[in-house]
Amino acid sequence: MIETVAHWIEAGGPIVVILGVLSLYSIALVILKLIQFWGLLSGRRDREAALDAWKRGDRVEAKKLLANARSPISRVFAAAMDCLSERWDPATLREEIERRANEQIETLGRHLRTLEVLAVVSPLMGLLGTVLGMIESFQQLELAGGSANAAILAAGIWQALLTTAMGLIVAIPAAVAANLLGARLDRAGHAIEDAVTRLYIADRARGA
């Protein structure tokens, strides 16, 4: 295995080394984001129970249910309860909750753009390596002159295509991870908006 990797590095040149480093970086980012997104949409049952308590007028119980909230959705929901308890004016309250929601979304979305960039750049780097490898192969073929044969050309071609394969190996997981995590982040954003809106409506209905 080690000999195979060493052979690939020797055959692909610096492009393969760079793509290998990008691959490790991409894997590390995906693992980091998976850990960060673990339980992102959790806590719905506690939020529903807190909302029911809020509707009954038991604000102490409602806040208690979300006192140890870990989900970003629940944290924003709890912040909205605090602001409502302090009787903030509606305009200021909405701005503050929007600020807190954006802060949570920005934190969660950090490095997703990096994965998207890796998904775009890696195939291009692989293609660059292939083009450079093909240029070198045809130079060798030209230098070989009359003694040129298919084996020389075939060896050069597979070495050149190696970088394209490496680029795709890096790009495909990065693109899949960026899209799936991005979709999950969008769901979290919608969940925050839905939870806070329901709380506003419940509080307004009770005060009416």
What phi-psi label fits residue 89: left (phi over 0), alpha (psi between -120 and 50 degrees) or beta?
beta
Contact assessment for residue 80 and residue 97, using Cβ atoms and an 8 Å cutoff: yes
Burial 76-109 (b: 16+ CB within 10 A, else e): bbbbbbebbeeebeeeebeeebeebbeebbeebb
**Global confidence as pTM:** 0.80
**Residue 1 to residue 8: CA distance in whole angstroms:** 11
- pLDDT tens for the chain, 208 residues long, are 555 555 555 555 688 888 888 999 999 999 999 998 988 888 889 899 988 988 888 888 888 888 888 889 999 999 989 888 888 888 888 888 899 999 999 989 988 999 999 999 999 998 888 888 788 777 777 776 656 566 666 666 777 788 888 899 999 999 999 999 999 999 999 999 999 998 888 888 765 4
Q: b/e per residue, 166-199, with b = 16+ CB within 10 A?
A: bbebbbebbbebbeebeeebeebbebbeebbebb
Name the one residue in this structure whose structure tokens are 């002159």: 145
Q: Which amino acid is at 99?
A: R
90 contacts: CB under 8 Å, gap ≥ 6: none
Query: CA 155: distance to chain centroid?
Result: 38
127 vs 47: CA distance, rounded Å: 50
Residue 59 has a pLDDT of: 86
pLDDT of amino acid 4: 56
- Residue 56 tokens read as 């009954």
